Structure 1
Amino acid sequence: MNSALPAPSEMVAIGVPMACGVRAAFGASGETGFSGFVMDPEDLTRRHVVELLVDGVPIQVTRADLFHPALAEAGIGDGCYAFQFLVPAPVYASATRFEARLANVDEVLPLTEPVEPAGEAARGHVEWLGNLRFRGWVRQPGSGEDATTPRILVAVDGEAVIDVPADRWGGAFADGVLQPVRGFDVELPQTLADGRLHQAVFTIAGPAVGSGELSGEQEIGAEPAVGNGPPVGGGAVPFLAFADPMRALLERQFPEDGSDRHPEAVRIDLHEKLFPRSLPFTEYEAWRAAQPPMPALVLPEGAAADQLALVFLGEDALDLSFGALQGEGGQWVAGAVPSDGAKANFDPAPLGGFMAGEARNSTAFAFLPAGARLLPGAVARIAQALADHPRAIMLFADVDVEEADGTVWPLALPAADYERTLEQGFAARCFVLRTPALRTALKRGANSVFRLANFLYDFHPLPVGAIVHLPGALARVPAACLRRGHAALNRATAEHLAATKQIARQAIAIGECLPAVRIARAPPRERVDLVVDAASYPALAERCLRAALPALRRVDGELIIILPPGKVNPALAPLLSPLPKVKVLQRSNPRGAEIFNAVVAGAEGQSVIFLSGAMAPLNEDWLDELRCRLEGRDTGAVAPLVIDAEDNVCDAGYVLGPNLDVVRTFAGRRISDPGYGDLLRVAHEVSALSFDCVAVRPALLRDLGGLDGLRFPTFFAGIDASLRLRARGKRLVMTPNAVVRDLAPGRIGTAALGRSPLSAARARELRSLRARWSTALAQDLLYNPILTREGAPYSALCWPPVRPAPRIAEPQPPQNWPAGL
């Protein structure tokens, strides 16, 4: 039995009200199928579970979360409230009665006219495999083995590029049933491997390209291509692809053998498996040699290159620094000023003399330690960046770090990071200041490269484009020099905090590759609420509270605890009774976004710290650390370092972009590991947080609209909220000085989903995340583009080598779309 979709105006009328408060529909669909929808008008974030009974015996169970366009058109949430069952033909033929019930409610869904949901499981699925490869399947109702093979038309950015036959029979699980489907596998043309974000739409091709005259893959030429119906998988699939020079090089060198048959192909394939689209750091010199050639300097018409002054701090190894300048083109002048052993402090008088003398015509000054060597073309890169970014006041660049034995490794930096600048001064060893800014800094008493590097942050807010990052090394710096300068950094940070009237204390910390200090802002005199979600993990609530409450008692804060309904666990009473301020919320079906938004809506404190009931803080000052970091300017949220029972990192923030997904930073590393660039030793900004344990300001979250539990009910609500905060210019900070232990590391959000039913739910949310944040996912400004874009972040170099353009840390707005679309 089949029927056309009901009109949107009829949809709510078809949804019959049930005693439990939901509206539902259920009817026959297809040859041996049944479908319908279930929704709660009072809570559109909720998804219900439905059982199918045949002659009174339950045979299938499914979640009502398929997309139904008619529900979306009627403005009902996101339209994802439909379900579908497919009954095996022998069972269908012998059965006499079919009915559907809400699981755990024992209430029969009302029988209505036939309803055909247009969910993903009913149409098909597309999966991006990385680079230019896609795999998917389609299922057309009523099609059998003798049916015409459907063809899939692929359009990229609105233009048809290729069509392929869905000629592979296979099976796909949908609604708990293994169904026969038509599969396809396609690799898009290499012209799309250009490093830019694209959108691919897959549809079933019409007669213009779907006739029997075509066979195999066919790129679209003059013949027009037609795609019928909605996109396979429900929408566009974003992808990002890069060229493959290793294979191309093999084909050029050995065209007669064929790249697949040549013996070197085996080693290339093995390398691709071990390091997909990446190269280990040990091959950095070879990676640099394979970089694209440096483009020629291009200045505006009629303009001449300004003179650059190169200032080297210190006197030893100057022969290496000046020797590297031989043959360097462009307009430049170089000099040295006396410095301390760390090559960080300087006397402003000799620098002023150099500025007034040999460098009097220079429009910008570059600062490096003596012994550092500019790489070929560095002066031209600086000149080009200054010409392309006339509003830039400061440029800073990555550096190559050279150990005593000659080993070289890259220090790849973010586009900007205020918190890390204060605690690490990461940009101070290779940066450029425009001359007027340098004069102002010297008048204000700057006498170290760390103070020059953080001087611009004295002015708030900085105009967009004031600071520009040059990815890719500009100079080679001795490792011993890079590790020094703790005292100079400590003083420079204190001077900046004083200049900006931030009350804080700081102390020298331990850094492996860079100097480090720890800052502690003064605790705010305001109310703080600690929210503990003990309903999701009631068995772990006692351990969580025993670890968390001592810090709360010291600040006289209020505890808001979410518990399951019924009698309170007697073990919690001794912990809760001594607290002067306790609020208990009971939830029978706790969902993260719902609880979060409910607490934010009624919070009375100026700051709120959310703590999952599956987490236990490990250090006494964890709460002070989070709330004091929240006092930092433009800070939107602060999170601690999360470790598991074996002291392995399981949450230190997220990196955006590997396969247009989000990946946890440093997951699996030991807590004693300093992390790449000492990131696990200092507080720093991250692109996204999970919100499992986070400090936020309720007023800011209310203004943001809370967490989007409608589009991101399970996996990505915190990621989405993080990106919305960053789009408003707010910073997200991860501090390793607050450490909490995850008592249930196998829970949702940290588990490897594999083929579990949750993997499909995650995939749906990921598509929504990509639709809203495709630009941010394609360009993570806190992650360096020379690092790997696949696998574990900070673990390798990207492949093929790139020569990235200069970057500006500016807000990346979302691409908003209506629910249901």
Structure 2
Amino acid sequence: MTQETLSRSPIGSLIASKRRRREAGAAPETKSRPLTALSGLQLRLARTADATFEGHAFDPAEPERRLVVELLLDAVPVALERCERFDDSLFEQGPGDGCHGFRFALHPDLVAGARLASVEIANLPGGPRRSVDLLDAPFEPSPSPAGGVEWLGGLRLGGWVRRPADGATPLVEAYVDGERVAFARADRWREIGDGAAPRVEPAFLLTLPRFLADGSARHVELRHCGRQLPGSPVALVAFADALEADLLSRADLRDEAARGQLFDLACPDAVPFERFASFDARFFPVSATQRLGKPVALAVIGEETRGRETLAGPALKADGSWTGATLSSEDGPTSFGANDLVRFLEGAGAPSPVVVFLAAGAALRPGALARLASALENDPAADIAYGDLLLRMEDGTLHPLMLPAFDEERFLEQGSAALAFAMRRGAALKAARRGVTELFRLFLAPLENGAGRGTHLHVPGAGIVLAAPDPAVLGPVLQAATLAHFAERGIRADVDLRAEAVLPAVRMRRRMAARPATTIVVDACGPDGPAEIGPCLEALEATRMRTGAGILLVTAPLSEERRRAFELDGVPVLEALPRESRAARLGRAAERAETPQLCFLDPGLRPLAPDWLDELTGRLAEPLTGAVGPTIHSAGGLVAQAGLVLRPAGRHARAFLDRRAEDAGYGDVLRVARQVSALSGACLLTTRTAFLAAGGFDPQLFPEDGGDIDFCLKLRALGRRLVVTPDACLERAGSAVRPEGEPRRRLRERAERLLFARWPEAFACDPFYNPQLDRGPVPYSGLAWPPGAIRARRPTVAQPRHLPPGW
């Protein structure tokens, strides 16, 4: 949680800081650090963890030179590293920038049994050597940086700090001109990749107070335990709303608004969820023109007394003409009598083209009724409109639940949107006459008629306050409704309650007459691929035995002996051609495979349970599902992949990287299956027919990066769904943080530009991510300031734009 602590008023702080700068003069004296006279090569080695060795190598005569050191275990060389890490102690002692440190993070098995660790300058016979006795020497404090900080855009700063020995949650403080203006607890997580031994450290998100968003450049110091974090001070600039809006407000700078828009996309601002009240007041003001154009029927479902409270709400008095009734049934808290609904809609509600259904106890906010009704009036193809919710907890606090565009998989397993929605009167009558008597099922009723997913409209904006649903009460109700929905559609499925959910949730498993045959395509042509082949095939053996899936190994050319060994084990090999791109070789693999399903798998992933492929196959059994992905965990126990969130300018962000594997995620979304706009190619199940029909991974436009996202968007343009499930979990061996060299970075940036040029509408507003949520690099971490486009939307994507090859 981010909090602000001001020693004086914001205005007073600004005046005081300006006075200090004026009195100090324009060029304050720079304090020099004392230097210690060093001579000869400086070499230090310390053991800072079981399999971690750190130190520095430095030549005072050549402070700009970066040496290379070699680590030996019992006189056997095991690793090399260039000394370029920052070493705080070295910086304090001598000349240079202090970036002469090294850190070896070895696999624990490599250190087990060793007695002596040594380090020496590589290729320098007779040079100095430092050693550590692995049996007796104690661990020493690490000289490596104790954290890091970066600007995320606007007034948002993010980073990490080293975990304290006592396990307490670290406190990070922000200072501007010597004044503490904000602080935050490091209550999130980040994986710090160092060789084969990644570690998980506390991470933080800090939001500065809004008075600093005045268009002036700032330098912000981030401190932990009184010391600045590496990367501090951070230079930033922020605007009251956005740079584009600021430029448009100035007559002489309106022509620069387009450039301002680019800045806002690159450096988006956000505020924590705790500041919803100020966010709502700024961007969703109550308008006197938000009144009902036509009469609306209001059906409150549930207990009579609470229903009357809803109908007596103060916001309804300002919403114009409406008529309401409370409908209840002994069958459950969200049930009603079908005949009662028909009588209401044919009687008092007959003049109303739209009926709004609310759970008893809900409170409408000003303008909410008009916004839902007008969304249906303006879109003849839609039957249902729903908005975002404010959940009232037991202590009275309100928490915004920002929902996606219609997500069938999520709303089948978590019926959060079904407690408040608007529906056309004719569609509601049709459902009631078919015997639909429950809110969760009524929300999905258009699908039972064979209507497409386009009948549901999402209207961004939290217009309805609900008491937080009780899973113990509503969970069984949702379970029964989902089973009845499947039965009406002729789908055989098992539906079970999910435990430990904050919101009512179920797990559904579609039954299959027969399990389709699957080929698991393992692409081992990457840098770590050859070393991962053996462990990967061993980890997949249980899956092969359980499902009968085949494996196709894509690898660099092998010796004839090794190739035959793989084929004797039932693993055919497809050798990559010289300089063949990833997209091209996976395309050849798909053509060679003869099974109905293809599962592309990174060799560094390990299934956490043998039924992972069964879960993916069950999700893919739904006819309109184009691809399915699992949830991937890091070796450190964090979420590494849980679907991709599309960002403007062709970028994407992995959701929930700052969460532990057991975390429920924002709105419990890590506990239920859900739809996303794109899946990672690290593990992706699709049908061979769909892969070939959509053109697979495009080798011309996206030879290495971006092909998986482009393929996913092609499936979505064809009307197919992309699903990520929490019930199939894989773990990435080693570090999920991979160093990116300059050539790879340029390829990635080019892929981002091409993706944006090809799919501009999809990246401008991800339909499965709410436009009110933070658009920075950490999805689901706050509220966007300002929000994205606030308009009614469907989960559709425009057709791709043609790009000539080579552009």
Pick the TM interval, shorter chain. 0.5 to 0.7
Of the structure 1 ranges 371-380 and 328-337, higher mean CA displacement relative to structure 2 is found in 328-337
Which among 457, 478, 486 is matched to residue 468 of structure 1? 457
Distance 1:601 1:640, change over 3 A: same
Residue pairs, 1:638-657, within 5 angstroms: 638-657=628-647
Which among 412, 423, 447 is matched to residue 457 of structure 1? 447
Of the structure 1 ranges 643-652 and 479-488, higher mean CA displacement relative to structure 2 is found in 479-488
Distance in 1 (CA, whole Å) between partners of 2:534 and 2:437 is: 53
Counterpart of 1:435? 425
Residue 547 of structure 1 contacts residue 618 of structure 1 at CA under 8 Å; is this kept in 2? no
Residue pairs, 1:138-287, within 5 angstroms: 193=244, 240=262, 277-287=269-279
Q: Specify every segment of 5 or more residues in structure 2 that has no aligned partner in the other structure, as ranges.
A: 1-150, 155-235
Distance in 2 (CA, whole Å) between partners of 1:415 and 1:773 is: 18
Counterpart of 1:448? 438
Structure 1 residue 315: Cα displacement: 2.8
Structure 1 residue 744: Cα displacement: 4.0
Is residue 782 of structure 2 the alignment partner of residue 796 of structure 1?
Answer: yes
Residue 285 of structure 1 contacts residue 408 of structure 1 at CA under 8 Å; is this kept in 2? no
- SS in structure 1 opposite 2:716? helix
Structure 1 residue 437: Cα displacement: 1.0
- SS in structure 2 opposite 1:457? helix
Is residue 545 of structure 2 the alignment partner of residue 553 of structure 1?
Answer: yes
Is residue 802 of structure 2 the alignment partner of residue 751 of structure 1?
Answer: no
Which among 335, 344, 352 is matched to residue 362 of structure 1? 352
Distance in 2 (CA, whole Å) between partners of 1:242 and 1:684 is: 29
Structure 1 residue 395: Cα displacement: 0.8
Q: Output the amino acid matched with 1:751.
A: R
Q: Runs of at least 4 residues of structure 1 off by over 6 A?
A: 128-131, 185-188, 218-221, 568-572
Counterpart of 1:586? 575
- SS in structure 2 opposite 1:787? coil
Number of matched pairs? 567
- SS in structure 1 opposite 2:681? coil
Residue 387 of structure 2 contacts residue 463 of structure 2 at CA under 8 Å; is this kept in 1? yes
Distance 1:352 1:572, change over 3 A: farther
Counterpart of 1:786? 772
Residue pairs, 1:596-635, within 5 angstroms: 596-635=586-625
- SS in structure 2 opposite 1:709? coil
Counterpart of 1:812? 798
- SS in structure 2 opposite 1:485? helix
Structure 1 residue 730: Cα displacement: 0.9
Counterpart of 1:504? 493
Structure 1 residue 240: Cα displacement: 5.0
Distance in 2 (CA, whole Å) between partners of 1:195 and 1:453 is: 42
- SS in structure 2 opposite 1:441? helix
Q: Output the amino acid matched with 1:407.
A: T
Distance 1:186 1:771, change over 3 A: farther
Structure 1 residue 668: Cα displacement: 3.1
Distance 1:608 1:219, change over 3 A: same
Is residue 473 of structure 2 the alignment partner of residue 478 of structure 1?
Answer: no
Distance in 1 (CA, whole Å) between partners of 2:541 and 2:600 is: 13
Residue 687 of structure 1 contacts residue 782 of structure 1 at CA under 8 Å; is this kept in 2? yes
Counterpart of 1:530? 520
- SS in structure 2 opposite 1:706? coil
Residue 401 of structure 1 contacts residue 409 of structure 1 at CA under 8 Å; is this kept in 2? yes
Distance in 2 (CA, whole Å) between partners of 1:342 and 1:441 is: 18
Residue 368 of structure 2 contacts residue 463 of structure 2 at CA under 8 Å; is this kept in 1? yes
Distance in 1 (CA, whole Å) between partners of 2:525 and 2:459 is: 48
What root-mean-square deviation, in Å, do the aligned CA atoms of Structure 1 and Structure 2 show?
3.5
Of the structure 1 ranges 806-815 and 433-442, higher mean CA displacement relative to structure 2 is found in 806-815
Which among 302, 308, 318 is matched to residue 328 of structure 1? 318
- SS in structure 1 opposite 2:371? helix
Residue 615 of structure 1 contacts residue 743 of structure 1 at CA under 8 Å; is this kept in 2? yes
Distance in 2 (CA, whole Å) between partners of 1:316 and 1:332 is: 20
Distance in 2 (CA, whole Å) between partners of 1:345 and 1:319 is: 17
Distance in 1 (CA, whole Å) between partners of 2:372 and 2:464 is: 12
Residue 401 of structure 1 contacts residue 410 of structure 1 at CA under 8 Å; is this kept in 2? yes
Distance 1:728 1:586, change over 3 A: same
Distance 1:744 1:195, change over 3 A: farther
Counterpart of 2:482? 493
Distance in 1 (CA, whole Å) between partners of 2:307 and 2:678 is: 43
Residue 717 of structure 2 contacts residue 799 of structure 2 at CA under 8 Å; is this kept in 1? yes
Which among 551, 559, 562 is matched to residue 567 of structure 1? 559
Report Cα offsets for 1:362-419 as digits up to 9, x if no partner.
2222111111100011222123212211222111111100111111111111111111
Q: Output the amino acid matched with 1:502.
A: I
Structure 1 residue 690: Cα displacement: 1.5
Residue 271 of structure 2 contacts residue 783 of structure 2 at CA under 8 Å; is this kept in 1? yes
> What TM-score do you get using the length of structure 2 for normalisation?
0.65
Distance 1:616 1:568, change over 3 A: farther
Residue 479 of structure 2 contacts residue 497 of structure 2 at CA under 8 Å; is this kept in 1? yes
Residue 469 of structure 2 contacts residue 504 of structure 2 at CA under 8 Å; is this kept in 1? no
Residue pairs, 1:3-18, within 5 angstroms: none
Distance in 1 (CA, whole Å) between partners of 2:461 and 2:253 is: 37
Q: Output the amino acid matched with 1:740.
A: L
Q: Output the amino acid matched with 1:634.
A: L
Report Cα offsets for 1:434-476 as digits up to 9, x if no partner.
1111122122221211100111122345174x21111111210
Identity of aligned residues (%): 34
Report Cα offsets for 1:699-733 as digits up to 9, x if no partner.
11111112112222222111111111111111111
Structure 1 residue 318: Cα displacement: 3.6
Report Cα offsets for 1:272-303 as digits up to 9, x if no partner.
9xxx510101111222122243455589xxx9
Distance in 2 (CA, whole Å) between partners of 1:277 and 1:291 is: 14
Distance in 2 (CA, whole Å) between partners of 1:441 and 1:450 is: 12
Distance 1:773 1:331, change over 3 A: same
Q: Output the amino acid matched with 1:805.
A: R
Distance in 2 (CA, whole Å) between partners of 1:781 and 1:364 is: 25
Distance 1:346 1:546, change over 3 A: farther
Residue 509 of structure 1 contacts residue 516 of structure 1 at CA under 8 Å; is this kept in 2? yes
Is residue 415 of structure 2 the alignment partner of residue 415 of structure 1?
Answer: no
Counterpart of 1:376? 366
Distance 1:195 1:663, change over 3 A: farther
Counterpart of 2:674? 684
Distance in 1 (CA, whole Å) between partners of 2:396 and 2:152 is: 39
Report Cα offsets for 1:673-722 as digits up to 9, x if no partner.
01111111111101111111111111111111121122222221111111
Counterpart of 2:760? 774
Residue 483 of structure 1 contacts residue 514 of structure 1 at CA under 8 Å; is this kept in 2? no
Report Cα offsets for 1:10-65 as digits up to 9, x if no partner.
xxxxxxxxxxxxxxxxxxxxxxxxxxxxxxxxxxxxxxxxxxxxxxxxxxxxxxxx
Distance 1:569 1:657, change over 3 A: farther
Residue 317 of structure 1 contacts residue 371 of structure 1 at CA under 8 Å; is this kept in 2? yes
- SS in structure 1 opposite 2:318? coil
Distance 1:321 1:129, change over 3 A: closer
Distance in 1 (CA, whole Å) between partners of 2:260 and 2:488 is: 45
Q: Specify every segment of 5 or more residues in structure 1 that has no aligned partner in the other structure, as ranges.
A: 1-127, 132-184, 197-217, 222-235, 245-271
Counterpart of 2:169? none
Structure 1 residue 550: Cα displacement: 1.6
Structure 1 residue 791: Cα displacement: 2.5
Distance in 1 (CA, whole Å) between partners of 2:585 and 2:265 is: 45
Residue 552 of structure 1 contacts residue 623 of structure 1 at CA under 8 Å; is this kept in 2? no
Counterpart of 1:153? none
Distance in 1 (CA, whole Å) between partners of 2:397 and 2:302 is: 23
- SS in structure 2 opposite 1:367? strand
Counterpart of 1:542? 534
Q: Output the amino acid matched with 2:298.
A: A
